[in-house]
Structure 1
Amino acid sequence: MQNGDASHTIVGPQLAQGGFKLLCLRKIVTKRIEHGAFQAGGLPIRNGESGLRTGWVLLRGLIREARHWEGLPERLADALGEPTHTLDLPGNGQRWREVSPTDIDGMVEALREQIARDGISGPHRVLAISLGGMVALRWAQRFPDEVECLVLINSSLRGIAPFYQRLRPRQYPRLLLALLLPLSHEQRERLILRMTTRLQDDLPAVAQRHARWQQEAPVSKANLIRQLLAATRGFTPPQTLPGLPTLVLTSKSDQMVSWRCSKRIAERWGWPLELHSKAGHDLPLDAPEWVVERIRRWRDTELSCAQQPGGECHPHQADNCAGEGTQAKADPQSDE
């Protein structure tokens, strides 16, 4: 990464060897046919180039930055053979000096400007968690030609889930403590991790690492409030999102946001839902291998469905292509 860049790009070894696999093939093929963007052999090209330079854009959530993905971008690039680009929202990470927008649309515009500056080719595949998921979904709604597909992790939307599921009331006191008390960086990070993780064997070590990042790129209390305001305001979700392949991942043991928020999102648009039974809100931190494997499996399912005549699933594939994950369908338990 060059100095001044606001993103990190990771290229998987399979991609470096030319082993690029098409993801979300139905949408890609439709767009390339409409624009005549095919070269000999059927491989899509863009702007006269000999291959796609696009990949995965990774978006974090409230007061989190690119480094909080830990090793997941490398794992994802290696598993899929596709590049990953980790971006920061204004006020976080490398953009910590900027003022956070107080609405989701402002975050979308800031993200698009950053992608243009960094020269990341689209359309984009987007992996996003929590507040980042709201931004990603709004991006896809407003600019459908820029987003090929989505993976949403533990996100929520106003108007689809009630406020007490979007942020569990038991976490209100901890958020107030994080806002009002003069805590050290490490104390604040421990408080956050107690809300967002469930499977960390060495929580103090993780807190120390995250505290160091906060010292290097501190998120101001004003920006925390502005991001909370943006998340609370949300946006009006569309009735339909045609041609947008999306996978929804969620954690049953999420103590910050109810997993039923993700379930409602999946049900609204008929998207597949995968449920982890033990991880916390920060699912990529608690179970990175699980996240990567679910994305890889979904990618392969989308590809196999797209290869059927007419791009449709055969009957025995229908549940995998358009239905809920087996764990989600079999789980009738309450919200707790």
Structure 2
Amino acid sequence: MSAWILLRGLAREARHWARLPDRLRSRGLMGEIVCADLPGTGEHVRERAPASIAATTDFVRARLAALGHAPPYRVVALSLGAMVAVDWAQRFPLELERLVLINTSLRRYNDPFERLRPSAWPLLLRAAWCWDARARRRAESAIHTLTCRRADERDADLAAWTAIYQSAPPSRANAFRQVLAAARFEGAASAPCCPTLVLASRNDALVDRACSAKLAAVWGATLIEHPWAGHDLPHDDGAWLADTIAAWAGNALTVALPSTSA
């Protein structure tokens, strides 16, 4: 049975998925669920992050093989991780069976100010300025404000995210290389060969939802928008996300309503 591979975004790691793997299992998804860290994050925090998406893809593929996982895979990926997934699907089409892309963009199709909203720059700069351990909670606060719309557990989120950073701190230099890789990534002109679900959050303050809409239109892929979530859709409405992936994977005709409101 094909494994589900989960890929996170910029300077985030497996633990930032929080309850999503358990939610996916509870929806009856068949196959192992593997949260794979990108180089420079999580269990690979001491690795140098490549300045290209292709090299990042190659790293992930090699690590999965070393751990005994074999394709074909089903990939769920967010933001930068979704760029890795696109590159993977385009360069190694026989290795992926299904693709779920969340709040991502490609240089080939999306304008720079759509890929990174100008209004996001102040909070991004604050996070970069407060990157180290002494000011880390302030960095996580900026990230939370920028990427999340559900704030009912903000204090708990900040405590958890700060603890994750302290146990495996991604370097500022690695984060910069990831940004560079994302900015340069165009992707191939061809659409992924496997069934592709594109998910977008209407209240994404980091990446314009138009990016996802353009990708889905060009590729003829399924597009579903969440009405109130922010960039970190797994955080804001993980229950809806798990329901939606499970429905799509099972070829169901209905999609769950959002579980909570902003």
TM range (shorter): over 0.9
Paired position in structure 2 for 1:133: 82
1:284 and 2:227 are equivalent in the alignment? no
> Which of the numbers 151, 154, 179 marks the counterpart of 2:103?
154
1:90 and 2:39 are equivalent in the alignment? yes
1:219 and 2:181 are equivalent in the alignment? no
Query: Hey, what's the Cα distance between the residues in 2 that align with 1:252 and 1:233?
Result: 25
1:237-252 map, 5 Å: 237-242=188-193, 244-252=194-202
1:1-336 map, 5 Å: 52=1, 54-82=2-30, 83-181=32-130, 184-242=135-193, 244-301=194-251
Query: Hey, what's the Cα distance between the residues in 1 that align with 2:151 and 2:223?
Result: 24
Q: Point out the more displaced range, 105-114 or 181-190.
A: 181-190
Structure 1 segments, 4+ long, off by >4 Å, are none
**Cα deviation per residue 1:245-272 (whole Å; 9 max; x = unaligned)?**
0111110001111111111111011111
**Secondary structure of the equivalent of 1:58?**
strand
User: Does structure 2 retain, via aligned residues, the 8 Å contact 1:190–1:204?
Assistant: no
Query: Hey, what's the Cα distance between the residues in 2 that align with 1:177 and 1:300?
Result: 42
Amino acid at match of 1:165: E
Paired position in structure 2 for 1:11: none
**Secondary structure of the equivalent of 2:225?**
strand
RMSD of aligned C-alpha atoms? 1.7
TM normalised by structure 1 equals 0.72
**Cα deviation per residue 1:46-77 (whole Å; 9 max; x = unaligned)?**
xxxxxx3x320000000000000000001102
Query: Hey, what's the Cα distance between the residues in 1 that align with 2:226 and 2:126?
Result: 29
How far residue 237 of structure 1 moved from its aligned partner, in angstroms, is: 2.6
Amino acid at match of 2:240: W
How far residue 180 of structure 1 moved from its aligned partner, in angstroms, is: 2.7
The aligned length equals 253
Query: Hey, what's the Cα distance between the residues in 1 that align with 2:191 and 2:171?
Result: 37
Between 1 and 2, higher relative CO (CA 8 Å, sep ≥ 6) is seen in 2
User: Does structure 1 retain, via aligned residues, the 8 Å contact 2:41–2:168?
Assistant: yes
User: Does structure 2 retain, via aligned residues, the 8 Å contact 1:104–1:235?
Assistant: no
TM normalised by structure 2 equals 0.92
Query: Hey, what's the Cα distance between the residues in 2 that align with 1:157 and 1:283?
Result: 19
**Secondary structure of the equivalent of 1:86?**
strand
**Secondary structure of the equivalent of 2:127?**
helix
Unaligned runs of 5+ in 2: 258-262
Unaligned runs of 5+ in 1: 1-51, 303-319, 328-336
